[in-house]
Structure 1
Amino acid sequence: MKCADCQKYLPLYLDNECEPREKESIKAHLETCEACRNIRNRLQKEAEAISEAIGMERLPDSFTRSILEQLEPYPVVQQPQTEAVQEVASAPLRKRRNVFWKRALVAACAVVILSITAGALISPAFAAYISSFISRIGGEFGLKRAAEQGFNTPVNQSVTDQGITLEIKDIVADQTRLVVSYVLKDESGNVLPNLVIRYYEENRIYLTDGAGNMISHKPHGLSQGAGYADLLFMLKKPPNDLIVHFEMVNLKPAALKQGNWKLDVPVNLEKSIQATKFIPVEGEAASFHGIDLDFEGVTYGPSATRFVVATRRTAEEKEHIEKLTDPGGALEGTSVGDYRLHYRIEDEAGAVITSQTNPGGNRHIYFSPGYSYPLEEGGDGAWRWYGAFVPSVAEEKLWFVLEAIEKTEQADLLIPFRPADLASNPVTKQDDKFSSIFTIKRMEKGTDPTTNESVWLISLTGKMLESDYPRWKLYDEVGKTYEVRTDYSTSVVSGSIDSEINELEQTLIVTGLSTLPDQLTLSLQTAQKRYTDINWKVAIPPNTP
């Protein structure tokens, strides 16, 4: 490890925020480098001094007013000063009536001067009380490091309505993402336990450039930690100036009150864009199961490392999908032909750094179809997929490994059943090709929740790869087709990060069926199939000067 890298990340090392491997690299460097040990010792002393200076009870809300009431003008004393002290003492000096306030001020100034005179290396130990990304308990290492390096924008803007305050604390932004840290507070200034806010329906949180052009209609995600919450916007090629807009009328479930919370927060990315590097990768293309892939390169930003993979259907695959989905086709209006990637990032020892199937750890940031963009060329089915993870403090050799391609294909699963027998004899059918199993449990009269009309309802359960509701067709004994759609008010698809299989409870609404036939057949239209016979491994170029 180089001295520059060691010194840059010493504060994280001292705060036990490094991963075990990174911690060992810094520890080994300190054993052989006296200069870095001296800096470590200085940072430890500084942190202790700051802790002592601020280690007092929380000041009352009337603190500022009380000080101002006890101040009176005092003439400025002109005398030679060092450059560091001149900046602190440039404001007019005032005489205090109360000795206690004077002592408190001296302690606070000691902390400020200590941080200013620490030299070229400014420790985040003091910045921790400014940036919410550093001072928070836990949280993602990439955001902490970016804030430490000065790539954060302290905001501290707030708006209050109905006794609820929306306070924007801090923003970290670079070419890979923009993250807004915020809290919700009650009338007493206490942070609410539930900080989740909706950014859809009547609420709007969106991103524009300085001229008002839309960059993102809504955040890509929200996460909550201990006393904070973060909104994530994924960025593609952002301009230097952005504005985060909050237009909130409902803070449910945190506030349970209607109101008006509106803020416009400007962010400048010029510094972080200059610190970002894109490294293209040439000659890494492959084709599997009707999908062409090209690993285009990697972006190294202050808060994240991001790779990009371009995909498109082969000519044969595209023609096949068009025949199925054209007007009059067997699968018109379905999602047949959709696909997604499953990947992992591994180091030279084969250890998984992060994975699409099981992100885990604290280095995964994002990767999903929600973070893909249509290619400018190639038409339908051509995409760019962006995946981001937290970079390591130490140098490392990494590889992108494609684990699987998951495709929505035409299904051939037929489930014949006798409606009258379902109550005592549910029908189960397994589909080994698509790793799914379904059970029709009952068919009975019910009410269409949309039209309140009398309809037939089919209740079924299942286990499947899909994370969405499967689409069905219903046939009678003579081949007549009946319209079938999902009752979303009583249906649910659930899964967990530990399992690739999702649990299904689905209610199907059947219309156009008056008399119940002796036998019916439920036909599955599409299903997802995961192809794992793939061997595509791409070396990620290192971030070298």
Structure 2
Amino acid sequence: MNCSKTEELRNYLAGELSAGEAKLLERHVEDCLLCQRLMMEEEDSREEFPNLHVPNALPSDFTSQVMTALEQVKLPKPKPNWKKRSVNIMKRTALAVASVTAIITFGSMVSPTFANYVNSVIQSIQGIDQGMKQAAEKGYVQEINKKVTDQGITLVVKEVVADPVRMAIIANIVDQNGKRIPFDVEKDGLSLTYKTKSGEELNPGGGGYTYGEEGEYLVVSHDIFRFLKDSKSLPDEIIVGVEATILGGKEGSWKVEFPIDMKKTREVAHHTEIGQKYTTPQGIKIILQNIMTVPSTSLLEMETVWTKEREEQIQKWKEQNGWIVKEPKTGVFTEAERMERYFIDMGVAFQLFDEKGNVVAGWDDALHEELNQIRKNNVKHSYRGKVHDDGKGVTKWNGITPLAKDQAYKLKMHSLYLYEPSKFQATIPMDTLLKGKVTVTNSDSTYNLTGFTLKTTEDEEKIGDETYFGKGALISFSAILPEGIVYTTEWTAQDESKQTYNVSLKGTTYTRGKDGRVHVAGTFFIRDLEKQPKELKLSHAIQQRQYQDLNWEVPFEMSNNAKR
């Protein structure tokens, strides 16, 4: 999936936005996990944003016995979730939406029924998570089947699944002969609008949705909770507009506008207040506030906040390393600001158990889920967070497959993830590296390095399984990280002349060894290094540590009180 603001984020990082545009984008980045992740990837790699690929759909002749088949569908493993960074230092721009003229307005939706679900296209889309499919199964899929044509290209909105938290719009693009036209996330333009029946805009900042091809269909997903959570009341009906300015490489005007019935889903939404607190040995206060359940997800609201001790530790680190943040400036992203966002990020992992002790859900903020393998029944797009105004805490909303009403559960904390400064440094003699393997050990890390290759052009080039942009040097490596460390970042390299280069890690794989330590393999890409040096000094400034010395369990019973 690609976020609708990806291009604006690219423009900011290229220094092409005005101060006003940068301000507008920040409001979006505060709540958009994908843009936060892309921001991190860009800062870490200094490369162009990668395309986000989605899995293929199930075969078109997938059995009509949908309920039986769904139980056998193996959903693809979700990609690692990148963590929430301090958005106080992120910059932003507004989405430019071209005006369109071809508007089709439609009346009331067909009443959602289970029959609609059985006959709906959602059954054949593997990339839709189980929570959204459950919402459709319970009758919250709304058939649209409306279209608009321009330039010989037709945009078809087939159906929508929506509740007060999430929305998935399933669409298609076809030519004059009805043949599907693939959606090009790099060239085609698409946007969403939301308003009440009286015309009030519900998402005036625009953006925040993601889109991508799921087999034969274009799926547009949006966490509408992001802009509805602060609303005083959820309207009975939302008017949704799907607009496009470029499709199939042709400029034109496409707009399909339709109402979505929110009354039924609003009436079944219910809240379970919890309000339990726990302070970890590391000086982090965790607060499980509440759980909101709607047809497609149960949304856990959890806060992680610094204690005074944690704040003092971070301030000490900043002073020791020269990472004191000064007044931020538009278009300038300093080293100190980059480091600050890591300390603000506080990841958690937890599991939910039913009365019989069975694990019904597992959440894990680890960048590499294969290290713990506890994620279970997560919904793909119901994750978002917001940094507190003082920059010392984060509120997150984590989505899982809906929990049953009037049932007792227990949340058990599994892990806490915190970033800290690293002292790792290694000097690589290049003559030795060219002859074979170099092994270096420092700060309880061991790295085995092999090979040295120069990429001599600025052009995009595929080397092995990875695509590289710009000039630089490649060194393959395998490593064993220190006990408790699960991730390293902010890598740099320095040659004998003291010239410093940014380093990104490409094609990395993470596994946990029998000793419990994390093993990493991949390639160092040393940007802008154009000739072989006599030696290289490799270092990384930040590492993430996993803590499992937590002793917090929260029993609770799901409420059946609907929020009106």
* Structure 2 residue 165 is the aligned partner of structure 1 residue 172: no
Match of 2:221 in 1: 231
Letter in 2 for 1:459: I
Gaps of 5+ in 1: 1-11, 21-115, 117-121
Whether the aligned pair in 2 keeps the contact of 1:462 and 1:503 (CA below 8 Å) is yes
Letter in 1 for 2:451: K
CA distance in 2, matches of 1:367, 1:399: 24
Matches within 5 A, 1:29-428: 124-125=114-115, 128-129=118-119, 131-133=120-122, 140-147=129-136, 149-161=138-150, 163-191=152-180, 198=185, 203-210=189-196, 211-212=200-201, 213-214=203-204, 217-220=207-210, 224=214, 229=219, 231-233=221-223, 235-236=225-226, 237=229, 239-240=234-235, 242-250=238-246, 255=248, 260-325=253-318, 328-329=322-323, 332-335=336-339, 336-337=342-343, 338-355=345-362, 356=364, 357=369, 363-366=377-380, 371-375=384-388, 377=389, 379-391=390-402, 396-428=407-439
TM-score, scaled relative to structure 2 = 0.60
Whether the aligned pair in 1 keeps the contact of 2:477 and 2:522 (CA below 8 Å) is yes
Whether the aligned pair in 2 keeps the contact of 1:472 and 1:524 (CA below 8 Å) is yes
Match of 1:83 in 2: none
* Structure 2 residue 540 is the aligned partner of structure 1 residue 527: no
CA distance in 1, matches of 2:520, 2:553: 28
Structure 1 residues 433, 180: CA separation in 2 closer, same or farther (over 3 Å shift)?
A: farther
- Give CA deviations for 1:315-334 in whole Å, capped at 9, x if unaligned: 23234334544794396343
Q: 2:558 aligns with which of 534, 539, 542?
A: 542
Structure 1 residues 339, 276: CA separation in 2 closer, same or farther (over 3 Å shift)?
A: same
TM-score, scaled relative to structure 1 = 0.62
Structure 1 residues 468, 411: CA separation in 2 closer, same or farther (over 3 Å shift)?
A: closer
Whether the aligned pair in 2 keeps the contact of 1:128 and 1:134 (CA below 8 Å) is yes
CA distance in 2, matches of 1:257, 1:277: 45
Greater shift in the superposed pair: 305-314 or 384-393: 384-393
Q: Which secondary structure does the structure 2 equivalent of 1:284 belong to?
A: strand
CA distance in 2, matches of 1:17, 1:189: 28
Q: CA deviation at 1:125?
A: 3.0
CA distance in 1, matches of 2:509, 2:254: 35
Larger Rg: 1
- Give CA deviations for 1:510-535 in whole Å, capped at 9, x if unaligned: 57x9994x544222211222222223
Whether the aligned pair in 1 keeps the contact of 2:511 and 2:520 (CA below 8 Å) is no
Count of aligned pairs between the two proteins? 413
Match of 1:38 in 2: none
- Give CA deviations for 1:353-405 in whole Å, capped at 9, x if unaligned: 2333368998320478x621223x4x224211111122256864333332222
Match of 1:492 in 2: 506
- Give CA deviations for 1:57-82 in whole Å, capped at 9, x if unaligned: xxxxxxxxxxxxxxxxxxxxxxxxxx
Match of 2:37 in 1: none
Letter in 2 for 1:273: R
CA distance in 1, matches of 2:283, 2:411: 20
Gaps of 5+ in 2: 1-63, 73-110, 325-334, 461-469
CA distance in 2, matches of 1:514, 1:189: 54
Letter in 2 for 1:275: V
Fraction of identical pairs, as percent: 18
- Give CA deviations for 1:381-431 in whole Å, capped at 9, x if unaligned: 421111112225686433333222222221111111222332113323356
Letter in 2 for 1:348: E
Match of 2:522 in 1: 504
Q: CA deviation at 1:307?
A: 0.8
Structure 1 residues 299, 393: CA separation in 2 closer, same or farther (over 3 Å shift)?
A: closer
